[in-house]
Chain A
Amino acid sequence: MRGYAGKFLEVDLSSGDVKEVRFPEEVLRDYIGGRGLAAKVLWDRLGDHWEEIDPLGEENMLTVFAGPLTGYFPGGRVCISGKSPQSNGITGSTMGGEFGVELRCAGYDGLIITGRAERPVYLLITDEGCEIRDASHLWGLGSIELLKRLNREVREELEHRHPRRREWREPAVIHIGPAGEKLIRVAAVVGKYSHAGGYGGYGAVMGSKNLKAIAVKGTGPLPEPAHPERVYELIDRVCQLCFASDMLRRWGTGYLGYEVGYSLSSEPVRNWQEEWHDRREYGVDRFERRLWVKRYWADFGCPTSCLKLATIRVGPYKGAITDNPDYELQAYLGTNLGIFDPEANAYLSALVDELGFCGIQTGNLLGFTAELYQRGIITEEDLGFKLEWGDADAFAKLLHLILSREGIGDILAEGTYRAALKISEMKGVDALRYAVVAKGIGIGAHGIRSGRDYPAIHSYCCSVQGGDHTSIAYTPINELRSELTTILHDSGVYCMFNIYPPGVLDLLWDFFTAVRGWKLDPEEWYSTQARRIIHIQRAALLLGGPDVRWRPWIDDVNPPRFYEPLPTGPWRGKAPEKGEVEEAVKRYYNEIGWDERGIPKSEELRRLGLESVDRKLEEIR
Chain B
Amino acid sequence: MSVEGPIWIMRDYAKCSGCRRCEIACSLHHEGRIWPEASRIRVFMLVPGLEVPHLCAQCDNPACVEACPVGAISIDEKLKRVVVDKDKCTGCGACVDACPGRVPHIHPTENYALICDLCDGDPQCVKVCQEGRWNCLYVVRRDPSVSYDLYAKRPEEVTRELAILLLGEKGEEVI
Which residues of A come within 8 Å of B, CB atoms? 71-72, 98, 101, 105, 144, 147-148, 151, 163-167, 169-170, 192-194, 218-222, 224, 228, 232, 235, 239, 243, 293-294, 296-303, 305, 309, 311, 313, 318-319, 321, 323
Question: Shortest beta-carbon distance, A153 to chain B, in Å?
Answer: 13
Assess whether B167 is in contact with A293, with CB atoms less than 8 Å apart. Answer: yes
Contacts of B48 in A (CB 8 A): 147, 192-194
Assess whether B45 is in contact with A221, with CB atoms less than 8 Å apart. Answer: no
Say whether B66 faces chain A, with CB atoms less than 8 Å apart.
no
Cα–Cα distance between A297 and B18 once the two chains are bound (Å)? 6
Assess whether A167 is in contact with B102, with CB atoms less than 8 Å apart. Answer: yes
The 7 closest A-B pairs by CB, nearest first: A221-B35, A192-B48, A298-B19, A319-B170, A219-B108, A221-B33, A309-B49
Known: A147-B47, A166-B106, A224-B33. A309 touches B166 (CB 8 A): yes
Binary interface encoding of chain B residues 85-120 relative to chain A, with 1 for a CB under 8 A from any of its CBs, else 0: 000000101001100001111101100000000000
Q: How many residues of B contact A (CB 8 A)?
A: 50
Cα–Cα distance between A299 and B15 once the two chains are bound (Å)? 14
Which residues of B come within 8 Å of A, CB atoms? 14-15, 17-21, 24, 27-28, 31-38, 42, 44-49, 91, 93, 96-97, 102-106, 108-109, 131-134, 154-155, 166-170, 173-175
Of residues B17, B46, B106, B131, which shows the largest number of chain A Cβ atoms within 10 Å of its Cβ? B17
Cα–Cα distance between A303 and B17 once the two chains are bound (Å)? 9
Of residues B34, B108, B155, which shows the largest number of chain A Cβ atoms within 10 Å of its Cβ? B34
Cα–Cα distance between A101 and B19 once the two chains are bound (Å)? 13
Say which residue of B19, B27, B34, B169 sits within 8 Å of A319 (CB atoms): B169
Question: Shortest beta-carbon distance, B124 to chain A, in Å?
Answer: 12
Nearest A-chain residue to B169, judged by Cβ: A319
Cα–Cα distance between A50 and B19 once the two chains are bound (Å)? 40
Question: Shortest beta-carbon distance, A225 to chain B, in Å?
Answer: 9
Known: A311-B166, A313-B168. A170 touches B45 (CB 8 A): yes
Assess whether A243 is in contact with B131, with CB atoms less than 8 Å apart. Answer: yes
Contacts of A71 in B (CB 8 A): 34
Known: A219-B108, A294-B14. A303 touches B19 (CB 8 A): yes
Cα–Cα distance between A19 and B133 once the two chains are bound (Å)? 44
Selected A-B contacts with CB under 8 Å, 18 pairs: A144-B174, A151-B46, A164-B106, A166-B104, A166-B106, A192-B45, A222-B35, A228-B32, A239-B21, A239-B132, A243-B133, A296-B15, A297-B49, A298-B18, A300-B20, A302-B19, A303-B19, A311-B166
Question: Shortest beta-carbon distance, B129 to chain A, in Å?
Answer: 11
Say which residue of B27, B44, B96, B166 sits within 8 Å of A169 (CB atoms): B44
Nearest B-chain residue to A194, judged by Cβ: B48
Contacts of B42 in A (CB 8 A): 169
- Beyond the given pairs A218-B37, A321-B49, 10 more chain A to chain B contacts, judged by CB atoms under 8 angstroms and listed by A's residue number, are A98-B45, A164-B93, A166-B96, A169-B37, A221-B38, A224-B33, A228-B32, A243-B133, A311-B166, A319-B169
Assess whether B38 is in contact with A166, with CB atoms less than 8 Å apart. Answer: no
Assess whether A221 is in contact with B175, with CB atoms less than 8 Å apart. Answer: no
Assess whether B97 is in contact with A301, with CB atoms less than 8 Å apart. Answer: no
Cα–Cα distance between A448 and B19 once the two chains are bound (Å)? 35
Contacts of B46 in A (CB 8 A): 151, 170
Nearest B-chain residue to A151, judged by Cβ: B46
Say which residue of B32, B131, B174 sits within 8 Å of A321 (CB atoms): B174
Contacts of A293 in B (CB 8 A): 166-167
Say which residue of B105, B131, B170 sits within 8 Å of A311 (CB atoms): B170
Contacts of B17 in A (CB 8 A): 294, 296-298, 302, 305
Say which residue of B19, B33, B38 sits within 8 Å of A300 (CB atoms): B19
Contacts of A299 in B (CB 8 A): 18-19
Cα–Cα distance between A259 and B140 once the two chains are bound (Å)? 42
Question: Shortest beta-carbon distance, B48 to chain A, in Å?
Answer: 4
Contacts of A300 in B (CB 8 A): 19-20
Nearest A-chain residue to B32, judged by Cβ: A228
Contacts of A239 in B (CB 8 A): 21, 131-132
Assess whether B36 is in contact with A311, with CB atoms less than 8 Å apart. Answer: no
Say which residue of A105, A167, A296 sits within 8 Å of B96 (CB atoms): A167
Contacts of A194 in B (CB 8 A): 48
Assess whether B175 is in contact with A148, with CB atoms less than 8 Å apart. Answer: yes
Assess whether B19 is in contact with A301, with CB atoms less than 8 Å apart. Answer: yes
Cα–Cα distance between A460 and B161 once the two chains are bound (Å)? 47
Nearest B-chain residue to A309, judged by Cβ: B49
Known: A170-B44, A313-B168. A221 touches B27 (CB 8 A): yes
Say which residue of B24, B31, B37 sits within 8 Å of A219 (CB atoms): B37
Contacts of A232 in B (CB 8 A): 28
Cα–Cα distance between A105 and B154 once the two chains are bound (Å)? 24
Nearest B-chain residue to A143, judged by Cβ: B48
Cα–Cα distance between A71 and B36 once the two chains are bound (Å)? 10
Known: A297-B49, A319-B169. A221 touches B31 (CB 8 A): yes
Cα–Cα distance between A603 and B169 once the two chains are bound (Å)? 64
Assess whether B134 is in contact with A294, with CB atoms less than 8 Å apart. Answer: no
Question: Shortest beta-carbon distance, A409 to chain B, in Å?
Answer: 28
Assess whether A72 is in contact with B49, with CB atoms less than 8 Å apart. Answer: no
Question: Shortest beta-carbon distance, B95 to chain A, in Å?
Answer: 9
Say which residue of A98, A192, A296 sits within 8 Å of B134 (CB atoms): A296
Contacts of A166 in B (CB 8 A): 93, 96-97, 102, 104-106
Question: Shortest beta-carbon distance, B34 to chain A, in Å?
Answer: 5
Contacts of B96 in A (CB 8 A): 166-167
Known: A166-B96, A170-B44, A303-B132. A321 touches B34 (CB 8 A): no
Nearest B-chain residue to A162, judged by Cβ: B106
Cα–Cα distance between A243 and B104 once the two chains are bound (Å)? 32
